[in-house]
Structure 1
Amino acid sequence: MKKFAGLLLSLLLAAGVLAGCGSAEAPAQQQKQEKTAEAFPAEVKDASGKEIKIEKEPQKIVSLMPSNTEITYALGLGKKVVGVTDFDTYPKEVKDVEKIGGMEFNTEKIISLNPDLVLAHASSMQSAEEGLKQLRDAGIPVVTVNDATSFEETYQSINMIGEATGAKQEAGDLVKSMKSDLAAIKEKAERISESEQKKVFVEVSPAPDIYTTGKGTFMNEMLEAIHAKNAASEQEGWAKMTEESIVKLNPDVIVTTNGATSVDEIKKRSGWSNVKAIQNNEVYDVDPDLVTRPGPRLIKGVEELAENIYPDVFKK
């Protein structure tokens, strides 16, 4: 009997401790929910220049761009995402989310998902104008996220999505973390003197139509951040170049975003044998999503570039 009484007392005490923990956590969670609820109705000025009114906290979100999706998941809103594009690959959870098409999205499919927020993108604002109008006519708030081409513009995208979804605090924390990580990389890059800086050619589209990244692109800003010189810095945006002009640039390093097989193809190109990057075996492949998708993983893209171009400085 005494054993039973002791066991009962232990169980009651354990239950009390657990209840205490639960009650301690509950107010914090409740405060967060109340704070989010207070953020609505909200008006968000999007990339179209319009003030988009969102009456209540979105519970079902459809993303029309992989970068929007990555940001939404990074803000802890993955469970609210009910539709993504055919091109979405990250995070891995998106493989189980309903697909709504590619650049030409399925308007009827989106409406059938009954979303209370659609995150569109400025890059397809004109081409998808009719489809976006149909969504708005169906009473669905559509926020067009800016087409970011720099870190600062990416931070704007994150804050815009945070404001539209009620995750303003999370967006601010994410931006702060990204800025801190980028600053750490830049600080490490200070060790690289001007005479040690390497000239890098970035190939974002393979032969026969070779495209590279010039001024006004993420890749250019990333190279600057790690004290590397963009061999195509005279070009503007995404530029097409001939093989002859690339060979003439004679880069120290060639970076491709077209897969590992592209590395071998570049090394075997006729007339490229005297290029420094070929002679010194400095041709590398990097994950295109990390260096071209304006989202939270851009910092990882900078790290990958840095570790390939300056392994002695950046590799642990």
Structure 2
Amino acid sequence: MKKWQVLSSVALLSLSLAACGEKETDKQSINDSAEVTETAQFPITQMDALGKEITIEKAPERIISLVPSNTEILFGLGLNDQIIGVSDNDTYPEEALTKEKVGGTEFNLEQIIALEPDLVLAHESGMYSFNEEAIAQLEAVGIPVFVVKDAKTFEETYSTIEQIGRITNKVQEAKDIIASMKEGIEEIEVKVADLEEKSVFIVVGTDPNLYAVGQDTFINEMLEVLNVENAVPELGWPMYSAEQFVSSNPDTILVTYENDIEEITTNDAYAEMTAVKNGEVKLVDADTTSRQGPRLVEGIESIAEAIYPEVFNEK
């Protein structure tokens, strides 16, 4: 074989190998891209908090949210343009204030129907105002209603985000949010690992009766992350008498309404409580500590800043 033929053959072989390499690289890139942009397969059927199987025919393009936590999740998933209506109580993010309001304690069904949503996100805790009869009316005109669970734990919150991500075709975005939340919690746990344990009493209202944050609640799990003792041993949201409150005598009293600070610190019945005498009656953010959504870490930080200002940046 002549020299030029040998060189030509080598060149062709090199080009062939290079092309194969490019194909393999392209194939790997496609696979990598598929992993990053995981999507849901529609139609999709998902069981909601009422135990009903809800079928979503295609990725929703017009969504109405009936509670702030759902709204924050939707915005966190990047569905800003798809959100066409929210509740009167929505305050975050700022863009939520520009969306059409469909009601607060009661919802305007005619308005919701007129907006022609292809998905309405309700909430288990709000069923007293948006009941099964209202859901049936929307479903009768072809509007699917997905009732989100009233999450009591972080894990249930993660599941909610996953569910909403799945039915809105934002699967990977949901995973990213959850991973970020878990990372933030781990960082907080490291900060408090060696701190002296304190007892905390969280007040969620004093007018006309005093209500507290008990065990088996979303906020109680925040206290567990911070390695602090909840001074309220009862489950849920118990009502406390003045005598019970004084007897609990925690190191720190936290309130979610600013007016309650004065209500507690100026009440003679509470004057001898350790937290009152030491100026340890403080305000925490009511939204981030109660909304089961992407700002969960901010809620924990709000509590941490009140209890451990020397470790966390005090606002």
One fold, TM greater than 0.5?
yes
Work out the CA distance in 2 between the residues paired with 1:112 and 1:92. 25
Give the superposed CA RMSD.
1.8
- Aligned pair 1:155/2:158, yes or no? yes
SS at match of 2:85: strand
- Which residue, 92, 106, 109 being the options, matches 1:107? 109
1:37: Cα distance to partner? 7.2
SS at match of 2:71: helix
Counterpart in 1 of 2:264?
266
1:224: Cα distance to partner? 1.2
- Which residue, 128, 148, 155 being the options, matches 1:145? 148
**Aligned counterparts, 1:114-133, within 5 A:** 114-125=116-127, 127=129, 128-133=131-136
SS at match of 1:221: helix
Change (3 A) 1:148 1:305: same
Identity of aligned residues (%): 47
Q: Give the partner amino acid of 2:202.
A: V
Counterpart in 1 of 2:19?
none
Counterpart in 1 of 2:241?
242
SS at match of 1:163: helix
Q: Give the partner amino acid of 1:154.
A: T
After superposition, the C-alpha distances for 1:232-258 in whole angstroms (9 at most, x for unaligned) are: 0x1110110011111011111000001
TM-score (norm 2): 0.85
Higher helix share goes to which structure? Answer: 1
1:264: Cα distance to partner? 2.3
1:113: Cα distance to partner? 0.5
Work out the CA distance in 2 between the residues paired with 1:95 and 1:66. 11
After superposition, the C-alpha distances for 1:268-294 in whole angstroms (9 at most, x for unaligned) are: 111211111011101101111011111
Does the CA-based 8 Å contact 1:199-1:231 persist in structure 2? yes
Work out the CA distance in 1 between the residues paired with 2:243 and 2:303. 25
1:95: Cα distance to partner? 1.2
For the pair shown, the structure with the greater C-alpha radius of gyration is 2
Counterpart in 2 of 1:67?
69
Counterpart in 2 of 1:93?
95
- Aligned pair 1:281/2:279, yes or no? yes
Does the CA-based 8 Å contact 2:39-2:170 persist in structure 1? no
1:124: Cα distance to partner? 2.8
Work out the CA distance in 1 between the residues paired with 2:139 and 2:40. 24
Does the CA-based 8 Å contact 1:206-1:258 persist in structure 2? no
TM-score (norm 1): 0.85
Q: Give the partner amino acid of 2:205.
A: S
Counterpart in 2 of 1:211?
211
Work out the CA distance in 1 between the residues paired with 2:182 and 2:286. 21
1:265: Cα distance to partner? 2.4
Does the CA-based 8 Å contact 2:62-2:83 persist in structure 1? yes
Work out the CA distance in 2 between the residues paired with 1:135 and 1:207. 37
Change (3 A) 1:38 1:92: closer
1:315: Cα distance to partner? 2.8
After superposition, the C-alpha distances for 1:197-217 in whole angstroms (9 at most, x for unaligned) are: 111110001143000010111
- Aligned pair 1:167/2:157, yes or no? no
Work out the CA distance in 2 between the residues paired with 1:72 and 1:173. 13
Give 5+ residue unaligned stretches, structure 1: 1-26
Does the CA-based 8 Å contact 1:37-1:56 persist in structure 2? no
- Aligned pair 1:55/2:53, yes or no? no
- Aligned pair 1:301/2:304, yes or no? no
1:126: Cα distance to partner? 5.8
